[in-house]
Amino acid sequence: MKTLLVFPPGWHPNGPYLALPILKSFLKNERGISADIRDLNIEYFDHIFSKNYIKQCYDKIKAENRMNDILKLVRESTLLIEKAKEISKSQKFFNSNDRKFAVNTIANALYVINEAFEGQDLSFKNIDLYHSRYSSEEVMKSTVDKRHNPYINFYEKGIIQEINLLKYKFVGISISGNSQIIPAITLARLIKKLCPSVTHISLGGNYITRMALRFGETHPFFEFVDSILVYDGEISIGDLIESVKDNKTFENINNLYFVHKTSNLIIKNTIVETDYINIYTPDFDGFPLDKYFVPELILPIYSSRSCFSNCAFCTVPKATSGKYRSFKVDKVFSIMRELKAKYGVSIFCFVDETLNLKNMEKLCQMIINEQEEIYWYGETRFSPNISELLCEKLYKGGCRQIQFGLESYCQRVLDKMKKNVKIEWIEPSIRNLYKAHIPVHLFFFTGFPTETSEEALTTYAFTRRMLAESREEYHVPTSTYGFGQFGLEIGSDVWFNPGDYFVEVKPVSGLQDLKLNVDYTAKVGLTQEQSELLVNKQKGNYPIFSRLAFPLPKEVVLSEKVSVMDAIYKTSSTEDYYKVKYSHNYINSLEHCHIELTEHTYIVEIGNNIIFYNVPNRKTYSAPIAQISMSDMIRNGETISAMKNKWSEEDINSYVSDLVYYGLIKIRESAEPYTDTIDEHRIGIVEDVMWDYDDQFDMYICMNPHSNSLVRLSKVSKTLLSLFADSKHLSEIVLVLQDNNIRISESAIRLLVTKCLKEEILYLIK
C-alpha cells in the first residue's frame, strides 16, 4: 500500500524536522512498511521566496490598490530574493556583508508576501492568517477561503497532483506546532475532495496530541480526517497502516481516535504509556536537503525521550507520554557516523528535552578516540557537575553550544517553578563552558506567577552581564539569549493547580478552543499585561518607532544554527570597528574623487522625498525631492567638484558626509570609513537623533532614525551625551568632568561612548 507522510508548512525553514524520518526508519526496519516522506514546509518557503512569486504579490497588491511607501522602498531589493536565498544556503553566508544582504532581503520579501494576503503574518516562527488558528470554526472557514489562504493554490498546483499521479492510499500529516494547523487541515480537505486514491488520512504529532486530548464526542476536523494518533506514533502508526491495508477495524489500536461509522461520534481507544524508544537511524530520504535556509546542513538527532524533570510551567510529559528513557551512547555515536557517511553532514542538533551530561561525556570520549570531525549542540540543565574538566572534554568532543532553560535568576522564582536548580550552580556552569570556548544560549521568560518586576529585571541584568562576559572576558562572541512572556499552558502544573500559584484561570471562549495556553488573573506579582509590556520594552519595542517617517520591515533571525556555525568556523565581521564620519575639510580634499552608490543601495522617489536605502545595513536617508539632480549625479558617478558646480559647498559637504557615514555612497579614492580606536578622533552627536522618555523605568530612549538603532540612557548618561554637541575628544570630556569635580570614572565614560558609537548615536570625525 502506497503510504505518504507529510510535514506541512508552518515551521522554521532552517532544517528538517525529525518526526517523519524517525517514523520512516521505524516502519521500514520494524514493520517492513515502505513510506515516502515530504517536507512541504521547506517546499513552501522555497516556492514563495522566488522572484516570480514576489512579482505576483506586487501585482495582487497593485490590483487591490494597496501599495504603500514601504512596499515602494523595498521593491527592487525583493526582486533579488533568489540571490539572497542562495547566499543563505552557501558559504557566502559567512561573509558579513553577504549575510546582512541575505537576511534583510528575506525580511523585505516576507513583508511583501504578508501584505499580499490580508491578515497574514508569516515569519520563521509562526503563521497567522485572516482566519484564526485558535478556533476550529475559523480553521474550517480558512480551508475554503482562497483569497486569504495561500496554501490552497500551493497544494493544488503541487502535492495534490503528485498524490493523484502516484496513487497514494494512506496519508499521514504530522503537526508539531499550532502554526501548522490551518495548512494541515487545508491539505486534508483538498486530499479528501480531489484525491480518490486516498482512503485514509491520519493526523499526529506533538501539537495535535495536546489538542485532541480535549476533544469531546464530535469535532469538525473529522470531516476531512479519518483518525488522529496521539503521543509517540511509532507503534500505533504501524498498526494503523496495516489495518487500513487489510481493511480491518481500528478498535484495538492504542492511542487512536477515530469516528464511529454509524454514530459519527469520536471513538477514543485506550491510551497506553510507552517505554519504547526508536533506536533506528533516521531516514531523511525524500526531504530536499539542499533547500534548507542554512549555509551547512545540520541534522537533528536524539538520545532520549521525554524529560526527567517536572517543571511547573511545562507540558512535555503530557505530549510525549511515558517516562524519561534513553538509549546507549555507542548507538548514538553509531547513528551520527551513519548520517555523516550517508548525507555528508558533520553538525548535529540534539533535540532531547534535556541532555544527560554523563552520556554526553561518554559520547565526546568516543568522538575524541575515533578522531571524528563531528560537532553538536543541545540543551541541558544547570548542575554542580559542569566542571572545567568536563567542559574541556565537551569542546574536544565537538560541542559548540549548550542551551540552558535558565527561566529566572531568582532562587525564590526557580523554587516556585519546581526547577530543582540552585542559583549557585548557574554562573559556574556558564563560566566553565566559556573557559572551554563553548558558547551558551539562555532561555528565560517573564511573568511566571508571583514573579515581581524587580525579580524579572534581575534576570535581564544577569543575562546581559553573562553575554558581555562571554564576548569581552572570554572572547566567545556567539553566546546568545532568547526570552518571551510566560504562557499558562493547558496541562501544566500551574493549570492543574492555579491556587498554588495565586492565579485564576479565565474561561476559554468558543473561538479559542484550539488554543493551548489560557489567559489568567494574577493575584500576586506581575499581571499578564505588565509582563507583556516589560518584555516588549526589553526587546526594544518602544513607541518611538511609530514616529519614523520610513519604517523598515521587521528584522528576521534566520536560525540559532547560524550562531553554532559561527562558533565552529569562528566567523568575524567589521563589527569590531567603529564608523568614521568625514569632516567637511576632509571632503574638500577629495573634490576630484568620484562618488558612487554602495552595493545594494537604491534611490527611491516617495512623495516629496528621495530616499536612499541600503539593504545590507538597513540604513535610510531622506532628502527633499528638489535634490533629485544631486542624487542623479551620485548615481552617475560624478566627482564632488562637478556637484559643487550646481550646489553649494556646504550642502554638498553635509550631504556627502552623511551618505558616506551611513554606507549609502562611497568615494572611490578615499580611505575606508572605519577605525579600531576612538582616542585619536573627535566625537560628535548625530544631529537628528530622536528622543523619548520611558517613565516606567525612568530611562531616556535615544534613536537614530536612519539606522533604527537605539540606546536606553539614564538622566546622567543623557547629560553626558550633551557634552558632545560641540565635537570633542574623549580626553577633553574626562577633563571637563574632573574640573567640575564630577566623579565618573573614565572607564564608565568610555563604555557609554563605545555603546553609543556602535548604535550610531555618536560618531567619530575624520
Provide the 10 A C-beta neighbour count for residue 302.
22
Model pLDDT for residues 128-151, shown as the tens digit of each residue: 999 999 999 999 999 999 999 999
CB 8 within 8 A of CB 172: no
Supply angle C-alpha 701, 704, 548, rounded to 5: 90
Is the CB of residue 187 less than 8 Å from the CB of residue 8? yes
Per-residue confidence (pLDDT) for residue 576, from 0 to 100: 62
Q: What per-residue confidence (pLDDT) applies to 715?
A: 93
Q: Where are the alpha helices (DSSP H) in 120-195?
A: 136-142, 150-156, 159-166, 181-194
Residue in 461, 428, 490, 422 with CA at minimum distance from that of residue 178: 490
Beta bridge partners of 245: none
* pLDDT tens, position by position, 356-383: 999 999 999 999 999 999 999 999 999 9
pLDDT of res. 624: 86
Please list, in sequence order, all residues whose beta carbon lies within 8 angstroms of the beta carbon of residue 162, skipping any fewer than 6 positions away: none
Distance CA 636, CA 758 (A): 31
Angstrom distance (rounded) from CA 420 to CA 410: 13
Rounded to 5°, the CA angle 746-752-754 comes to: 100
Among residues 208, 241, 240, which one has the least CA distance to residue 2?
241
- What pLDDT digit, counting tens, does each position of 421-443 carry? 999 999 999 999 999 999 999 99
Query: Model confidence at 317, in pLDDT bands (50, 70, 90)?
Result: low
Half-sphere exposure in the Cβ direction for 49 (13 Å, CA): 30
What string of DSSP letters covers 577-636? Answer: SEEEEPPHHHHHTTTTSBEEEPTTEEEEEETTEEEEEETTTTEEEEEEGGGHHHHHHHHT
Which one-letter DSSP state was computed for residue 728? B
pLDDT mean over 1-21:
97
Question: Is the pLDDT at 515 greater than 70, yes or no?
Answer: yes
Residue 97 has pLDDT above 60, yes or no: yes
- For residue 303, name the pLDDT band (cuts at 50, 70, 90): very high
The model's confidence at residue 573, banded by pLDDT at 50, 70 and 90, is low
The residue written with cell numbers 579614492 in the block is 669
pLDDT at 668: 84
| Residue 485 cell numbers, joined | 512572556
Specify the pTM.
0.93
- Give me the mean pLDDT over the 632-653 stretch: 85
Count of beta carbons in the 10 Å neighbourhood of residue 454? 8
- Cβ of 499: how many Cβ atoms within 10 Å? 8
Residue 133: burial class (beta carbons within 10 Å; 0-12, 13-18, 19+): buried
In the chain the domains, ranked by start, together with CATH numbers, are 3-268 (no CATH), 298-526 (3.20.20.70), 577-675 (3.40.366.30), 682-765 (3.90.930)
The count of C-alpha atoms lying within 13 angstroms of the C-alpha of 118, restricted to the half-sphere facing its C-beta, is 8
Q: Across the strands, what pairs with 622?
A: 611
Contact between residue 403 and residue 429 where contact means Cβ atoms under 8 Å apart: no
CA distance 143 to 141: 6
Alpha-carbon distance of 300 to 143, in angstroms, equals 31
Antiparallel, parallel or unpaired: β 690-694 and 762-765: unpaired
Cα torsion angle, 618, 619, 625, 627, sign: negative
- Closest listed residue to residue 311, CA positions, set 445, 403, 414: 414
Please give the Cα distance from 652 to 629 (Å, whole number).
12
Asked if 310 contacts 497 with a C-beta cutoff of 8 angstroms, the reply is: no
Q: Please, are residues 738 and 725 in contact by the beta-carbon 8 Å criterion? A: no
d(CA 187, CA 222): 13
Of 559, 558, 568, 557, the C-alpha closest to 376 is 568
CA distances from 356 to 59, 324, 353, 361, 479 (A): 53, 11, 10, 9, 21
Say if residue 280's pLDDT is above 70.
yes
pLDDT at residue number 45: 97
- Residue 257 near residue 266 (C-beta atoms within 8 A): yes
483 neighbors 536 (Cβ within 8 angstroms): no
Among the residue ranges 62-71, 390-399, 689-698, the one predicted with the least confidence is 689-698
CA-CA distance, 168 to 200, in Å (whole number)?
A: 10
CA neighbor of 237 nearest in space, from 23, 526, 503, 483: 23
Helix (H) or strand (E) holding 39: strand 35-39
Instruction: Please say if the pLDDT value at position 627 is more than 80.
Output: no
State residue 574's pLDDT score: 44
Grid look-up 547566499 returns 87
Amino acid at 269: N
pLDDT in tens, 157-171: 999 999 999 999 999
C-alpha–C-alpha distance, residues 171 and 187, integer Å? 10
Render the burial of 102-113: b for 16+ CB within 10 Å, e for the rest.
Answer: bbbbbbbbbbbb
User: Mean pLDDT over residues 585-610, rounded?
Assistant: 91
| Encoded amino acid at 625, one letter | I
Residue 572 clears pLDDT 60, i.e. is over it: no
In terms of Cα–Cα distance, which of 411, 431, 432 is closest to 421? Answer: 411
Q: How high does pLDDT run on average in the chain?
A: 93
Q: What percent of the chain has pLDDT over 70?
A: 98
Element (H, E) at 530: helix 528-538
Report the share of the chain in percent with pLDDT over 90.
76
